[in-house]
Structures are given as C-alpha cells and as structure tokens.
Amino acid sequence: MPVIAYFLIAFAVFLVLLAITWSFRNTAAKVGSPRRAPGAGTARGHDTDGHQH
C-alpha cells in the first residue's frame, strides 16, 4: 500500500475522532447544575438558600 494511503486513513480517523469530540462541546455547562425556579421544592416561607422571608 502506498504511503499516501496510510496518511489518508490516519487523517480520516483523526477527522472522525475530532467530530465525536466536537459533538460533546458545551456538555458540561448543559448538565452541570440545573437551575430551579425560585422557591421550587422548598418549604413554604423559605428561600432556596434556607433563609426565611
């Protein structure tokens, strides 16, 4: 097999791996810490940080 074929195969594998990696961009920000609406899931009269109103 000619040398250029090895280069083309390696470059194609690199592009496929790059595409897979690129598809996960900004994933940490999306699943990091979901924000809740103020007062959602808390006791009545308490804020999300535990302070009373």
pLDDT digits (tens, 9 = 90+) for 33-50: 767 766 666 566 656 666
22 has pLDDT over 90: yes
According to DSSP, the residues that pair with 52 across neighbouring strands are 46
Query: Would you say residue 28 has pLDDT above 90?
Result: no
Which residues lie across from 46 on neighbouring strands? 52
What's phi and psi for 46, nearest 5 deg?
-115, 145
pTM: 0.53
Task: Please tell me the distance from the alpha carbon of residue 36 to that of residue 23, in angstroms, as a whole number.
Answer: 26
Question: What mean pLDDT do residues 12-21 have?
Answer: 98
